[in-house]
Amino acid sequence: MDLLPNRGAVAVKLSETDVLHSFEVLANLEGFSGELAARRISDFEIAQLKAMHYEMLATFARQDLAGYYRLNAQIHTAINEAARNPVLTRSYRQINARVQSLRFRTNQNELKWKLAVKEHEQMLAALEARDSGALRAILIEHLLHKRDTVLELMRAGEVYSK
């Protein structure tokens, strides 16, 4: 999806190159968000993120992919917002909107879904420890795993490409 002035969201077909470029930028935006969030987040916000995380784990246990994805997106958004940088938030939302539907598809494989859950547990631990470097690295790795899965799905013809 691209957000266009006076037109709203418009569906966009992405090529492999578009996916590579979008995830490259998104991974670094999320990593930077995590780095800043670890320094700026309040104890209350961490408690809220923990609650969302536990709700997300429950959806995983029920194999509720739609519920999992909704909470997953809320967690990533909350980390971005905890960075307290409106320019970063606008950039993140714009790039994320381009690949959001593709991100959802990456958890349809059980092993990849389990890996994503493990990475989320690592994110929460780094955030609680306020370890900005670790959180940055985990978020970047997490997004690059998503990118790789999207590319695999595109190459297998399971998601659209240009």
For residue 101, report the phi and psi dihedrals to the nearest 5 degrees.
-65, -30
> Beta-carbon neighbour count of residue 15 at 10 Å?
12
The domain limits of the chain are 15-154
Q: Where are the extended beta strands (E) located within the chain?
A: 2-4, 8-10
Residue in the block written with tokens 């349809």: 108
Give residue-wise pLDDT tens across range 3-24: 444 544 445 688 999 999 999 9
Helix (H) or strand (E) holding 134: helix 132-155
Architecture category of domain 15-154 in CATH? Up-down Bundle (1.20)
* pTM for the model: 0.89
Q: State the Cα–Cα distance between residues 141 and 44, nearest whole angstrom.
A: 26
- Dig out the tokens for 152 from the structure: 């695999």
User: Can you tell me the distance from the alpha carbon of 121 to that of 159, in angstroms, rounded to the nearest whole number?
Assistant: 28
Predicted local confidence at residue 11, as pLDDT: 56
**pLDDT per residue as tens digits for the range 15-51:** 999 999 999 999 999 999 999 999 999 999 999 999 9
Which has the closest alpha carbon to 34: 156, 122, 117? 122
Read off the pLDDT of residues 99-156 as tens digits, 9 standing for 90 and up. 998 988 888 888 999 999 999 999 999 999 999 999 999 999 999 999 999 999 999 9
User: Which tens digits make up the pLDDT trace of 37-96?
Assistant: 999 999 999 999 999 999 999 999 999 999 999 999 999 999 999 999 999 999 999 999
